[in-house]
């Protein structure tokens, strides 16, 4: 099983990679498979069944809306976020679903969009879609949204397939120990080794161009978050803070009479992370990094590097993302990046480790130091629960990204001060994350039935 860096970094929409991006992709896959088997004109009704975590927090995470967009033939990387609300309102008013934008059929929300308490066996994030015709069921399939926008079908889940890449990589690694051994044997950095693996699927020019485009999408999300203010949707009345914070930071930079110590470099990191995750909470254009719930950490740390490092260039951006991707691959292969599966340690913890590794890489870290940075970043997010208030990716998610961004920078700095030798390996921390997630009660894993989600009684 091989995973590309472009599997981890995908352009999509907010507020959730597992609950929004994955379900939209699954629904679009369903329509494409359906249309390949029969004329869509034969379909009289479509029923959507959401299970487990997709049911428990699906409304707050816009899962239902995402599925409808997918049934209309939209994909998360292509859809204009601005069209979602108008189309949903039109559907609710007319009770008409435009299947793949070509076939109109009746869709009664209360009847055809089902939120079920049942949990299916392979993953907490499960959904089934059924198409009916004159004679009954025409086609049906079950999908699992396994985190970071990754989707597998029922058949693939039964075969334990996470990703469909079966290509043989020149430097395949399934552990950090193997990765470090390969780097030492081949005399390569982690980013160089990752680049060679990526060449199995793309040319070097395509890889560099693609990763630069990912960075530009991340940066655009930061910029959008810094200029959009107001109240976030969902009913918690959470106000966007990034724009006002940003204006205060600019005033300090531009006014020599203001005491500069009022703000620090870390304030810039905070505002970058807040901007991304507020934009995510509003359903804006995002990059999974490796998930939407943790999407602010890597952009915040990379923005910090680009702003304060004089030698920063597009090459460093690519190296950053490649090294970060190596750590994300290890987390994905050996544990999980799904909050519904292992709690927020799998989302924010993995992203913190990835950002720490990327920053350590571009600051000149050796492979051992990069692995150490990732280990520190993940270790100090172990046990982190996923308990979003109101099922919304707002509280505590937005601030949590800012805090983890600072942790990532600190982790990279600590690793660079050492020689790469350390007591606990990244592999052991990833296994611990996996085991902790298995032991964690379901109410703390993206169901909004425990933790802050039930103790924030004033919401």
Residue 282 and residue 220: Cα distance in Å, rounded? Answer: 15
Structure tokens at 96: 């008409």
Q: Per residue in 93-120, pLDDT tens? A: 999 999 999 999 999 999 999 999 999 9
Share of the chain above pLDDT 90, in %: 92
What integer pLDDT is reported at residue 161 of this predicted model?
54
What integer pLDDT is reported at residue 159 of this predicted model?
78
Residue among 308, 311, 316, 113 at smallest CA distance from 215: 316
Q: Is the pLDDT of residue 313 over 70?
A: yes
Kindly report the pTM of this predicted structure.
0.92
Q: What is the pLDDT confidence band of residue 364, given thresholds at 50, 70 and 90?
A: very high
Phi/psi for 336 (5° steps) reads: -170, 155
Cβ-contact 359, 409 below 8 angstroms:
yes
What integer pLDDT is reported at residue 262 of this predicted model?
57
Question: In this structure, are strands 285-288 and 151-153 parallel, antiparallel, or unpaired?
Answer: unpaired
What integer pLDDT is reported at residue 242 of this predicted model?
98
Please report, for residues 63, 225, 398, 418, 451, the alpha-carbon distance to residue 123 in angstroms, rounded to integers and kept in the order given. 16, 32, 25, 39, 22
The lowest-confidence range among 26-35, 40-49, 162-171, 319-328 is 162-171
Residue 152 and residue 161: Cα distance in Å, rounded? Answer: 7
Structure tokens at 160: 């334990």
Neighbours of 69 (CB within 10 A): 24
Q: Per residue in 412-457, pLDDT tens? A: 999 999 999 999 999 999 999 999 999 999 999 999 999 999 987 5
What integer pLDDT is reported at residue 251 of this predicted model?
86
Q: What is the pLDDT confidence band of residue 265, given thresholds at 50, 70 and 90?
A: confident
Q: Is the pLDDT of residue 263 over 80?
A: no
Q: Is the pLDDT of residue 458 over 60?
A: no
Please give the full DSSP string across 274-309, using - where no structure is assigned.
HHHHHHHHTT-EEEESS-STTTTHHHHHHHHHHHH-
Structure tokens at 79: 């859809």
Q: What is the pLDDT confidence band of residue 6, given thresholds at 50, 70 and 90?
A: very high
Q: Per residue in 55-80, pLDDT tens? A: 999 999 999 999 999 999 999 999 99
Helix %, strand %, coil % of the chain (to 5): 55, 10, 35
Structure tokens at 13: 């929409």
Share of the chain above pLDDT 70, in %: 96
Measure the N-to-C terminal CA separation of the chain; round to a whole number of Å: 44
The residues facing 48 across adjacent strands are 113, 129
Q: Per residue in 342-359, pLDDT tens? A: 999 999 999 999 999 999
The class level of CATH for 17-158 reads alpha beta
Q: Is the pLDDT of residue 298 over 50?
A: yes
Cβ-contact 404, 348 below 8 angstroms:
yes
Phi/psi for 158 (5° steps) reads: -65, -30
What integer pLDDT is reported at residue 459 of this predicted model?
38
User: Taking the CA atoms of the chain, what radius of gyration do you get in angstroms?
Assistant: 22
Q: Is the pLDDT of residue 260 over 80?
A: no
Residue 443 and residue 459: Cα distance in Å, rounded? Answer: 19
Please report, for residues 64, 112, 289, the alpha-carbon distance to residue 75 in angstroms, rounded to integers and kept in the order given. 14, 21, 18
Q: Is the pLDDT of residue 228 over 50?
A: yes
Helices (H), strands (E): how many in the chain?
20, 9
The residues facing 131 across adjacent strands are 46, 139
Structure tokens at 457: 């009684």
Residue 451 and residue 453: Cα distance in Å, rounded? Answer: 5
CA angle 27, 349, 61 (to 5 degrees): 30
Give alpha helix (H) positions in 150-189. Answer: 154-158, 176-186
CATH number of 176-200+202-455: 1.10.4100
Domain ranges of the chain: 17-158, 176-200+202-455
Phi/psi for 12 (5° steps) reads: -155, -150
């Amino acid at each position: 099983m091989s995973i590309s860096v472009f599997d981890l970094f995908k352009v999509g929409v907010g507020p959730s990679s597992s609950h929004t991006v994955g379900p939209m992709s699954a629904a679009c896959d369903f329509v494409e498979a359906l249309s390949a088997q029969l004329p869509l004109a034969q379909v009289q009704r479509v029923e959507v069944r959401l299970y487990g975590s997709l049911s428990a927090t699906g409304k707050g995470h816009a899962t239902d809306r995402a599925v409808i967009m997918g049934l209309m033939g939209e994909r998360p990387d292509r859809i204009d976020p601005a069209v979602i609300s108008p189309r949903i309102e039109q559907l609710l008013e007319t009770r008409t679903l435009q299947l793949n934008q070509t076939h109109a059929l009746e869709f009664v929300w209360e009847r055809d969009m089902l939120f079920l308490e049942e949990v299916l066996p392979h993953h907490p994030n499960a959904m089934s879609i059924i198409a009916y015709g004159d004679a009954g069921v025409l086609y049906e399939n079950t999908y699992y949204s396994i985190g970071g926008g990754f989707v597998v079908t029922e058949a693939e889940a039964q075969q334990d397939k996470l990703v469909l890449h079966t290509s043989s990589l020149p430097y395949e690694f399934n552990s950090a120990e193997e990765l470090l051994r390969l780097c030492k044997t081949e005399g390569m950095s982690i980013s160089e080794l990752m680049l060679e693996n990526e060449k199995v699927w793309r040319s070097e020019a395509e890889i560099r161009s693609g990763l630069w485009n990912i960075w530009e999408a991340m940066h655009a999300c930061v910029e959008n978050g810094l200029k959009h203010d107001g109240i976030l949707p969902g009913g918690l009345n959470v106000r966007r803070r990034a724009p006002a914070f940003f204006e205060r930071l600019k005033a300090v930079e531009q006014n020599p009479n203001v005491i500069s110590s009022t703000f620090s470099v870390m304030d810039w990191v905070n505002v970058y992370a807040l901007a991304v995750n507020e934009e995510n909470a509003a359903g804006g254009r995002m990059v999974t990094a490796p998930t939407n719930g943790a999407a602010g950490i890597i952009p915040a740390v990379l923005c910090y590097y680009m702003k304060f490092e004089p030698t920063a260039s597009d090459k460093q951006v690519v190296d950053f993302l490649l090294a970060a991707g190596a750590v994300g691959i290890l987390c994905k292969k050996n544990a999980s990046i799904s909050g519904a599966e292992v709690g927020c340690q799998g989302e924010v913890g993995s992203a913190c480790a990835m950002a720490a590794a990327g920053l350590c890489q571009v600051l000149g870290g050796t492979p051992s130091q990069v692995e150490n940075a990732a280990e520190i970043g993940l270790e100090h997010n172990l046990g982190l629960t996923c308990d979003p208030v109101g099922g919304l990716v707002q509280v505590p998610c937005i601030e949590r990204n800012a805090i983890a961004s600072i942790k990532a920078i600190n982790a990279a700095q600590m690793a660079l001060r050492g020689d790469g030798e350390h007591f606990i390996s990244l592999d052991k921390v990833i296994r611990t994350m996996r085991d902790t997630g298995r032991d964690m009660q379901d109410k703390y894993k993206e169901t909004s039935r425990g933790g802050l989600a039930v103790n924030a009684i004033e919401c």
